[in-house]
Amino acid sequence: MSPTRHAAARALLSDPLTNKGTAFTAEERDEFGLHGLLPPHVGTLDSQIERRRKALEEKESDFQRYAFLRELQDSNEVLFHALVQSDLPRMLPLVYTPTVGEGCERFSEIWRRPRGLFLSYPNKERISDILADPAYDRVKVIVVSDGERILGLGDQGAGGMGIPIGKLALYTACAGIHPSEVLPILLDLGTDNHARREDPLYVGWRAPRVRGQEYDDFVEAFVSAVDDRFPGVLLQWEDFAGKNAYDLLVRYRGRLLSFNDDIQGTAATAVGTLLAAIGRTGVPLTEQRVVLFGAGAAGSGVAEMLVQAMMADGLDEKAARAKIWAVDRDGLILSDIPRLPQQQLKLARDPAEIEGWNVSGQNMISLQEVVANVHPTVLIGTSGQKTAFDERTIRTMAEKVERPVVFPLSNPISRAEAHPADVLEWTGGRAIVGTGSPFGTPGVTQVNNVYIFPGVGLGALASGATAISDGMFMAAARRLGELSDDSHDGLLPAVTELRQVALEIAVAVAVQAQAEGLATAEPAALTRESIAASMWQARYA
């Protein structure tokens, strides 16, 4: 065999998009010169799945399983996705939350092969050249992060790449986006995490974070390069710090087909799950009293979508906002607090509203005091503050509400505002509980963005949307609420149904895009059948 053919055979095996391992047939081994490079046994995808599953379960920790799956993805994409799709309830926590948190913290320990792109600040003049690689010609979906606010873990620098990689694995698993059509990107603008910068294994740019105008200029160069290279691409902003998250969403949502999952995806998931929950309480959305703990990007996004949902159900804006009480690090958000972030201004309450409250008289009004005075029917946590929903707070809430709805949504588990088993105990089993991470507590729903963002992306692409509107996310939230499954204790469909959920969300989003005049695809492409037919299955070609 010629040296060229030898090289081509090895290239076929080393490319995760073409490698089939032992599943190459005898005919393929003849044609591509693979004899000798593979053991003689000709396997099947099913047998490979079982072999990998056995190896996975022999690992001693979930982090080791996470690292194992990452290596599998980098060697054989079809096998990786087939394994994930074969058992989503088992694999989802390993591929994404909660294990991805430790995966980001220890990313530099397990980095082996290139996946996605690290666009570092020293290479700011090379962005267009880097994106020009023909390997990316098919890209339709980009997930990008700058690693500054990874889950509830803060600044992880280049380790934040674990988030785009994980999110895009879910785009493929749930929405059927082909692995060659996704591209994870990390904007490496340094890190203010001293431990990461000083770690001798750290793979990122060892410098303090770039901020201000230099940051804005870098992101502008990135967006311009993406717009030129990938017309019509879907770009998902992920795990940017609060102000940057809002600023980038506002600045670029009209230029690129883009959205911020922490703001809009979390909001739609929370609102959709809340609609399912109140469907069981019998109390209309317009009669709910909501206390929101944590008013950063995620929490503020939830609040704004709740306002829009209440308005759609008949309240005016003033009445809708009066139903929501937002608490942040400085206590209840009041309009006389100086220098409130832009996203919190609309959430601020008039100090006159709390006259006569029974409070301690200190400078801030605590979460427990807000709960004691508001008597909320719904308590949502997006604060990253472990055990913030303590026994006193939950029992106080339950004194006045027959079926309290409690959503401690912060990730990972170590940052959750409460353990769901505790909430159920403190409420005598009356609470309806949803969590951001999987706790395994019977009757508790995981309020995971994976119920929303894959379907939103699929629907936007299928409809040829020119933009992703708030109305499209509202359509996604309402459809999710309608999918509430009474056949089991949870509020949402089982994780095993995530592909069907993504399809249902995609259809709702595509129809809404058409209704708003944002769809460019022919109506025939917006049907459930057409969208389902576009979803890739993990099978060998």
In-domain check, residue 255 = no
* Per-residue model confidence as pLDDT tens digits over 421-468: 999 999 999 999 999 988 989 989 999 999 999 999 999 999 999 999
Q: How many whole angstroms separate alpha carbon 122 and alpha carbon 190?
A: 10
- Which pLDDT band, with edges at 50, 70 and 90, does 343 fall under? confident
Q: Mean pLDDT over all residues of the chain?
A: 95
How many domains, in total, are found in the chain?
4
Tell me the pairing of strands 324-328 and 331-332.
antiparallel
pLDDT score of 6: 86
Residue 239, annotated as binding a ligand:
yes
Same domain, 360 and 464: no
Q: Residue 143 forms beta bridges with which residues?
A: 184, 236
pTM: 0.94
**Cβ neighbours around 488 below 10 Å, total:** 12
In-domain check, residue 87 = no
Q: How many whole angstroms separate alpha carbon 479 and alpha carbon 268?
A: 10
Task: Say yes or no to pLDDT of 314 above 70.
Answer: yes
Residue 262, annotated as binding a ligand:
yes
Same domain, 526 and 413: no
Same domain, 204 and 231: yes
* Per-residue model confidence as pLDDT tens digits over 64-123: 999 999 999 999 999 999 999 999 999 999 999 899 999 999 999 999 999 999 999 999
Same domain, 437 and 323: yes
- Which pLDDT band, with edges at 50, 70 and 90, does 2 fall under? confident
Q: Which tokens is 486 given? A: 């009474």
From 224, 240, 256, the end of a domain falls on 240
Alpha-helical runs (H) found in 106-241: 107-110, 127-131, 162-175, 194-198, 212-229
pLDDT score of 508: 98
Using alpha carbons, list the distances in angstroms from residue 16 to 91, 140, 180, 343: 19, 18, 10, 42
Task: Say yes or no to pLDDT of 205 above 90.
Answer: yes
Same domain, 8 and 25: yes
* Per-residue model confidence as pLDDT tens digits over 276-305: 999 889 999 999 999 999 998 899 999 999
- Which pLDDT band, with edges at 50, 70 and 90, does 485 fall under? low
From 422, 447, 472, the end of a domain falls on 447
* Per-residue model confidence as pLDDT tens digits over 344-357: 999 999 999 998 89
Residue type, 527: T
Same domain, 458 and 518: yes
Same domain, 111 and 190: yes
Same domain, 36 and 105: no
What is the domain-level CATH number for residue 363? 3.40.50.720
Same domain, 73 and 100: no
Residue type, 331: G
Residue 358, annotated as binding a ligand:
no
514 φ/ψ angles, rounded to the nearest 5 degrees: -65, -45
In-domain check, residue 246 = no
Using alpha carbons, list the distances in angstroms from residue 227 to 189, 234, 420: 21, 10, 44
Q: How many whole angstroms separate alpha carbon 401 and alpha carbon 145?
A: 40
From 447, 462, 486, the end of a domain falls on 447
In-domain check, residue 100 = yes
Closest alpha carbon to 433 in 394, 400, 399, 396: 394
DSSP per-residue string spanning 210-264: P-HHHHHHHHHHHHHHHHHHSTT-EEEE-S--HHHHHHHHHHHTTTSEEEEIIII
In-domain check, residue 248 = no
Residue type, 464: G
**Cβ neighbours around 125 below 10 Å, total:** 8
Q: Regarding predicted confidence, which is higher, 256 or 242? A: 256
Task: Say yes or no to pLDDT of 1 above 70.
Answer: no
* Per-residue model confidence as pLDDT tens digits over 52-79: 999 999 999 999 999 999 999 999 999 9
Q: Percent of the chain having pLDDT more than 70? A: 99
In-domain check, residue 83 = no
Average of per-residue pLDDT across 233-258:
95
Same domain, 193 and 234: yes
In-domain check, residue 66 = yes
Same domain, 48 and 97: no
pLDDT score of 146: 98
Q: With beta carbons less than 8 A apart as the criterion, state whether 235 and 144 touch.
A: yes
| Burial per residue of 272-292, b for 16 or more beta-carbon CB atoms within 10 angstroms, e otherwise | bbbbbbbbebebebeebbbbb
Q: How many whole angstroms separate alpha carbon 417 and alpha carbon 389?
A: 5
In-domain check, residue 234 = yes
pLDDT score of 359: 86
**Cβ neighbours around 74 below 10 Å, total:** 16
Q: 200: cis peptide before it, omega within 30°?
A: no
Q: How many whole angstroms separate alpha carbon 71 and alpha carbon 76?
A: 9
Range of the domain at 496: 451-533
Tell me the pairing of strands 182-188 and 234-237.
unpaired
Q: With beta carbons less than 8 A apart as the criterion, state whether 406 and 431 touch.
A: yes
Q: Active site residue: 20, 140, 167, 323, which one?
A: 167
Average of per-residue pLDDT across 33-60:
97
Q: How many whole angstroms separate alpha carbon 119 and alpha carbon 147?
A: 12
Task: Say yes or no to pLDDT of 489 above 80.
Answer: no
Average of per-residue pLDDT across 496-511:
97
Q: Active site residue: 20, 66, 96, 246, which one?
A: 96
Same domain, 284 and 390: yes
What is the domain-level CATH number for residue 63? 1.20.1370.30
Q: Give catalytic status of residue 96 as yes or no.
A: yes
- Classify residue 116 by its DSSP letter: S
Closest alpha carbon to 323 in 272, 281, 372, 375: 375
